[in-house]
Structure 1
Amino acid sequence: MSSTPSNRIVSSLYGPDSTLTPYSLDEQDNRKQLGREIPQLETHPERPQPRGSIYRSISWIFGFREKYSLINCFVWGGALVGYCLARSVTMNPHPARISIVLAPGEWFWFQLPLYKYNLFIHIYLTTIGGIFAPLQFLPAIRRRYVILHRLNGYGVLFCLIVGNICGSIIARRSFGGELNVQSAFYILGIMVVFSALMGIYNVKKDTRRHRRWMLRMVVYFSAIISGRLIWTAAAQIVTDIGTYFSIWRCDEVLNLLSDPQALQSTYPQCVAAGVNPAAVWVAVHASTRDGPLYYASALRAVNGMSLQSHLTKCGLVSCLSPLIILKKYRTDNIYLTSIY
């Protein structure tokens, strides 16, 4: 079928080499009628990368969304893992080794069967649980590897619950077994176990509440870290003051002070004829500069106070954190209301 001359003219007018289209005339008329040109897209120079891009990239890899979450995870989680690794030397059950790494005089009681087995169960389980606990707070694992998160979570819960129960048993003789020390360890064990059970209870019902209880459990469990820092400083303070003492049984004193002349001159009531060392108590000066006996006495004098101070701090944080969360929630709601 041949084309007419008029068709051939139109085809050549809108051919592939032409800059016109069948609607070019209409577009030009529309521009004239509207009195303006069609806006063109503006090109912007490439924006330079911000300085914190590496930090944000690492945060994104681990799944964190808040600005300081990675720093908190690295500082506090790293402190817990580092402390557990540092104290892993106590996992050696040989008496000659464990008596050195523990506080002076502690092995005197812990070598008894009742305390010995519970001591090593406590050491092994809490060390393993403390190393793997920070992995539970990595959002990347929680979102992408749910099975791993669950298995690791149940393993950590088992280790910390059983380990703290065994730790409460040995608290009867830990650092002299004074009432302030026993009460601190018992309260701490109850707080850890209760938080763990509440976390298990809310794991299917409310994931946010589950996370809060798990975070509380790890914070309570980490009391030994801040407690150790407190009693290290407090022991030096009471040494400088020089007027603090702790009560020791004579058989405990004989375990650490074997020099007969020192015993006769310092604690004659412990070596008197016909005296039962297990029935006599003496006051031992608290000092970190005068030998193992006096160093252990300084630790006994400040240990209960250190743990009680940490428990007070945990109580204040537990009371104030819901208020902070509620204030943030209200602020976010006001902000969203102003937007919409």
Structure 2
Amino acid sequence: MSSNASTRMNNTPLPRSEIYSPYAQHHEQEKTHDAEDLGIENRPPKQHSPLLHFYRSISWILGFKDKYSLLNCFVWGGALVGFSLARSVAMNPKPKSIAAELVPGEWFWFQQPLYKINLFFHIYLTTFGGLCAVLQFFPAIRRVSYGVLFCLIVGNICGSIIGRRSFGGELNAQSGFYALGIMIAFSGLLGIYNVKRDTRRHRKWMLRMVVYFCAAITARIIMIIAREIITTIGTYYSIFRCDELIDLLTDAQAVQSAFPQCVAPGINPASFWVAVHASTHNGPLHLASAARATKGMALWIATLIHVVGVEYYIRATDAANGMRVGFVLEPLDYSESSTTSY
């Protein structure tokens, strides 16, 4: 019995882990050395915060492929929505309400029929267009919306028309308004042209259009800072026509004491101009002068910032810019014939 038992025990196959192999130790040492070289065994597993997991989940749900796209959309899109909502109070058609939202003295010009009509079109169309444009940048819900394009293009054309008298009609401000209007309209039209021809080009021109449109927000921020700077310097002036000035300063004695040349005998207020000190501390007239002195400069600086910024963003995210194949956005290397376009 004992011999048979020992025979069966000797014939029982050993577990694979106990079978001797002359190469086993060598392989284990190689794996250990490879792991040490790579630093794997000493590197703890990377832990992501719940906030980062939440951010990535929302980004994936909304269809973003680049990790910073959702953040950019939230920051800059939120600024556009906030600005549009803030300016929506000017949609009140009552003259007193809308005049209170304008720079002091602007209503003198904008109450004229040509400018009044274009002012209301500009306010209504750009407010609706700005609110709806943000939704077009969420890939999961993106749809071709000609209504948004119509609002932004036509609204900015109307804004260019009132630019003739906006902020006093200073030449540097006029040129800034006209340049932005042309850039926005041109980008929007090219975006429409490429809707079904080239999705990649369409995305780029839509980005340019909305970013150019948002230059007005940056210009206002720059203008607020610049007004305080020139007030501190104290040597800046803007030009006002006398009838415009008299309309703003309803007190005849104030006009007589500060600007006697406007009420001098034989003077036509519609053809005589006076210099007004630019300051934020001396009432609405001088505040309007400070706004006029800084608006053109602010527009051009903001336009330059936005042009550089959007071109950098377009190139930085070009790899994630899919091309349309049927109803699906495919990667750039989906087809060998696809090329990068700008």
Q: TM tier, shorter chain?
A: 0.7 to 0.9
**Count, aligned residues:** 289
Question: Which 5+ residue runs of structure 1 have no aligned equivalent?
Answer: 1-26, 38-46, 143-148, 334-340
Q: Residue deviations 1:69-128, cap 9 Å, x none?
A: 211111100100010001100000101111111111111000000000110001000000
Aligned to 1:64: 64
Using the alignment, how far apart are the partners of 1:141 and 1:326 within structure 2?
20
Secondary structure, counterpart of 2:227 in structure 1:
helix
Shift, 1:319, TM fit: 5.6
Secondary structure, counterpart of 2:64 in structure 1:
coil
1:85-164 alignment runs, 5 A limit: 85-142=85-142, 149-150=143-144, 153-164=145-156
- Is the contact between residue 207 and residue 310 of structure 2 (CA under 8 Å) also seen in structure 1? no
Secondary structure, counterpart of 2:231 in structure 1:
helix
Shift, 1:327, TM fit: 10
Shift, 1:234, TM fit: 0.3
The partner residue of 2:276 within 284, 296, 310 is 284
- For the pair shown, the structure with the greater C-alpha radius of gyration is 1
Are residues 1:188 and 2:180 paired? yes
Secondary structure, counterpart of 2:141 in structure 1:
helix
Secondary structure, counterpart of 1:247 in structure 2:
strand
1:307-326 alignment runs, 5 A limit: 307-317=299-309, 320=312, 324=316
Shift, 1:259, TM fit: 2.3
Q: CA RMSD in A?
A: 2.8
Using the alignment, how far apart are the partners of 2:319 and 2:73 within structure 1?
23
What TM-score does the superposition give when structure 2 sets the normalisation length? 0.78
- Is the contact between residue 65 and residue 320 of structure 2 (CA under 8 Å) also seen in structure 1? no
Give the aligned residue type for 1:102: L
Are residues 1:50 and 2:42 paired? no
Q: Residue deviations 1:50-87, cap 9 Å, x none?
A: 31211111212212222222111111001000100011
Aligned to 1:271: 263
1:246-261 alignment runs, 5 A limit: 246-261=238-253
Using the alignment, how far apart are the partners of 1:234 and 1:110 within structure 2?
25
1:217-228 alignment runs, 5 A limit: 217-228=209-220
Question: Which 5+ residue runs of structure 2 have no aligned equivalent?
Answer: 1-11, 25-44, 322-331, 334-342
Q: Residue deviations 1:133-192, cap 9 Å, x none?
A: 0101101113xxxxxx12xx2111010111011111111100111111111000000000
Aligned to 2:204: 212
Give the aligned residue type for 2:102: L
CA 1:229–1:31 in structure 2 vs 1: closer, same or farther (change >3 Å)? closer
Are residues 1:165 and 2:163 paired? no
CA 1:58–1:328 in structure 2 vs 1: closer, same or farther (change >3 Å)? closer
What TM-score does the superposition give when structure 1 sets the normalisation length? 0.78
- Is the contact between residue 212 and residue 307 of structure 2 (CA under 8 Å) also seen in structure 1? no
Secondary structure, counterpart of 1:248 in structure 2:
strand
Aligned to 2:230: 238
Give the aligned residue type for 2:239: I
- Is the contact between residue 66 and residue 320 of structure 2 (CA under 8 Å) also seen in structure 1? no
Secondary structure, counterpart of 2:250 in structure 1:
coil
Shift, 1:266, TM fit: 1.4
Deviates more, 1:309-318 or 1:169-178: 309-318
Shift, 1:258, TM fit: 2.2
The partner residue of 1:303 within 291, 295, 307 is 295
CA 1:115–1:268 in structure 2 vs 1: closer, same or farther (change >3 Å)? same
Give the aligned residue type for 1:192: I
Shift, 1:35, TM fit: 5.9
- Is the contact between residue 63 and residue 138 of structure 2 (CA under 8 Å) also seen in structure 1? yes
Secondary structure, counterpart of 1:167 in structure 2:
helix
Give the aligned residue type for 1:296: A
CA 1:69–1:328 in structure 2 vs 1: closer, same or farther (change >3 Å)? closer
Using the alignment, how far apart are the partners of 2:65 and 2:87 within structure 1?
33
Give the aligned residue type for 2:70: L
- Is the contact between residue 173 and residue 296 of structure 2 (CA under 8 Å) also seen in structure 1? yes
Give the aligned residue type for 2:226: A
Give the aligned residue type for 2:79: A
CA 1:79–1:185 in structure 2 vs 1: closer, same or farther (change >3 Å)? same
CA 1:31–1:281 in structure 2 vs 1: closer, same or farther (change >3 Å)? closer
Aligned to 1:81: 81
CA 1:271–1:177 in structure 2 vs 1: closer, same or farther (change >3 Å)? same
Shift, 1:28, TM fit: 5.3
